[in-house]
């Protein structure tokens, strides 16, 4: 996944990040997660679409072996 450098600026009493036009989001709200490496910005609409798409695929291939959940990394 490509990495970019974005400008951080103050907007009123808040901080904001200016995203390049090519990285614009098709939503008015995002989810932000703080991780050990920094912040992760998630588009909840895109995440919901991925979940719906995967749910539609579930069960289409009965020969597919069961998938064990992966352990979560320690923080």
Residue 43 resides in a domain: yes
More confident residue, 45 or 68: 45
For the range 52-60, what are the long-range contacts, defined as Cβ-Cβ under 8 Å and sequence gap of 24 or more? none
pLDDT(62) > 60: yes
Residue 21 resides in a domain: no
User: Which pTM was predicted?
Assistant: 0.55
Residue 49 resides in a domain: yes
Domains contained in the chain, number: 1
The residue segments making up the domain with residue 54 are 27-60
pLDDT in tens, 12-60: 999 999 999 998 888 888 989 999 999 988 888 887 888 788 778 777 7
Query: How much of the chain is in helix, strand and coil states, percent to nearest 5?
Result: 25, 25, 50
**Residue 54's pLDDT is what?**
79
Residue 44 resides in a domain: yes
Residue 53 resides in a domain: yes
CB 27 within 8 A of CB 45: yes
**Residue 65's pLDDT is what?**
72
């Amino acid at each position: 996944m490509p990495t970019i450098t974005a400008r951080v600026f103050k907007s009123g009493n808040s901080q904001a990040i200016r995203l390049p036009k090519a990285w614009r989001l098709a939503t008015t709200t995002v989810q932000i997660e703080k991780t050990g490496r920094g912040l992760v910005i998630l588009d909840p609409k895109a995440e919901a679409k991925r979940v719906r798409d995967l749910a539609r695929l579930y069960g289409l291939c009965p020969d597919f072996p069961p998938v064990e959940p992966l352990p979560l990394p320690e923080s």
